Structure 1
């Protein structure tokens, strides 16, 4: 099939398909004498796998390492290991995001607990002092590195 049909069937743009070909993710491409690309039917499946893997957080390099030369020769152990590692990465990210969310909710609570008799600037100093304690005088660059 030609690139236009593959683009329609895969939902990807021709430029994206050519990019995947150029970086070696889409390999089963035949060139006609006129220079037109001809793609096998399995190209739709490969492009779907690439999109699915990217959606799950795999980098293009990780996908390249996992995709077999053809869909008949998967490396079971490598695939299962990569999927297991990605699940662990996601769990680590979820834990970090949960900590960040809890921290932000705490900051919101502190801001919302502003006494009626102080202005926003004074409240900001009050909140920062409570959150950072003795670190309140710490330079901003150091605060960015601090894990909350």
Structure 2
């Protein structure tokens, strides 16, 4: 099928399809006239790629995950990558929850401005409390600290 038909069936722009091709995620044959000729399985492949991106996988991770032939999935590698992504998401959720709790504590402290103190003085008061560590800091449960190990974070250069 031609790129316009593939774009219509997947809801993707032709430029996005060409991008995935250039990124090595989609292999296409060329007709004698130079037009791209996509196989039927390209629809499924593009749905897998876009779904994986929505789930937080980088293009590099997707490239490593996809088999050269759609019928040759590596079960153990697939399960391992999916479990790792779940762990990454859980670690991100934990960091976001901590950030949220810290910001809420900061807002509460700012709003607890003592009577008769102006905004600038209140800002200094809050900043001094932050520097002294007096603001309530969220704490991690003992088992949650493993999620924040540096080796669990996304490697530099992956997108």
- 1:18 equivalent in structure 2: 18
- 1:123 equivalent in structure 2: 122
CA distance in 2, matches of 1:87, 1:81: 10
- 1:46 equivalent in structure 2: 45
CA distance in 2, matches of 1:132, 1:108: 16
**CA shift for structure 1 position 70:** 1.9
Q: How does 1:43-122 map to 2 (within 5 A)?
A: 43-122=42-121
CA distance in 2, matches of 1:9, 1:119: 60
- The two structures, once aligned, show a CA RMSD in angstroms of 1.3
- Long gaps (5+) in structure 1: 135-148
CA distance in 2, matches of 1:9, 1:120: 57
Runs of 4+ in 1 over 2 A off after TM superposition: none
RCO comparison, higher one (Cα < 8 Å, 6+): 2
Q: How does 1:22-37 map to 2 (within 5 A)?
A: 22-27=22-27, 29-37=28-36
3-state secondary structure, aligned to 1:87: helix
3-state secondary structure, aligned to 2:108: helix
TM-score by length of 2: 0.81
CA distance in 1, matches of 2:30, 2:80: 35
- 2:153 equivalent in structure 1: none
**CA shift for structure 1 position 116:** 2.7
User: CA offsets, 1:18-69, max 9 Å, x none?
Assistant: 1111121002x12101100011111011001000111111110100011011
- Larger deviation: 101-110 or 17-26? 17-26
3-state secondary structure, aligned to 1:115: coil
CA distance in 1, matches of 2:82, 2:69: 19
TM-score by length of 1: 0.87
3-state secondary structure, aligned to 1:49: helix
CA distance in 2, matches of 1:11, 1:90: 27
Please state which structure has a larger fraction of its residues in helix.
1
